[in-house]
Amino acid sequence: MDIGNRIKQLRMKNGLTLEELADRCELSKGFLSQLERNISSPSISTLEDIIEVLGVNMAGFFKEETNEPSVFTNDDFYVKENEDSLITWLVPNAQKNEMEPILYELEPGSETFVVQPYEGEEFGYVLRGKITLVNTSKDEKIDIRKGETFYLKGNDEHYFVNESERIAKFLWICTPPVF
């Protein structure tokens, strides 16, 4: 890791001049300049003082920032084809994210897996056809048609069923991921 460059990045992000950072850390401007150019290396205690002023902790300072993509194409999607459904994961490796969006196509007379109670939420939008939300915890069934949405807390055991004679297609987003 380029410690000097990381100090400089955080200093600039905080809108501090070299002189301002030096004053706050009780170090010389020249020494900080040498650190940023990797001419000198700080002791652990000096580095702790610097990063405290910069508003991060040691773990945050050394955490490598990754440039994760934010746009995905069909080539990035993962598709699982079952006998009665087609499930498309729209964001690769979404399990590491806070939410997981999938596109679910459900054949007539088919149902999704049963979602056990969990601490989270779900949102969905029906793109084609009609699905029925079956809440087994409350013993209720609710139809959701094309153009309608659902928003659920993860408190109840539930699943979706396609009781129509046409394929149903819906966007289903869970946080945290449950698929």
Longest pairwise C-alpha distance within the chain: 76
Bridge-partner residues for 132, per DSSP? 143, 161
- pLDDT tens-digit profile, the chain (179 residues): 789 999 999 999 999 999 999 999 999 999 999 999 999 999 999 999 999 999 999 988 888 766 778 899 999 999 999 999 999 999 987 767 889 999 999 999 999 999 999 999 999 999 999 999 999 999 999 999 999 999 999 999 999 999 999 999 999 999 998 87
Domains of the chain: 3-62 (1.10.260.40), 74-175 (2.60.120.10)
Query: Is the separation of the CB atoms in 110 and 129 below 8 Å?
Result: no
Q: Which of 98, 76, 102, 100 is nearest to 89 (CA)?
A: 102
* Sign, Cα dihedral of 30, 56, 6, 9: negative
Assign 87 to helix, strand or coil: strand
Q: What is the DSSP letter of 111?
A: B
Size of the chain in residues: 179
Q: What is the pLDDT of residue 1?
A: 79
Q: Could you give the C-alpha distances from 44 to 32, 50, 52, in angstroms and in order?
A: 14, 10, 12
Query: Is the separation of the CB atoms in 125 and 160 below 8 Å?
Result: no
pTM above 0.75, yes or no: no
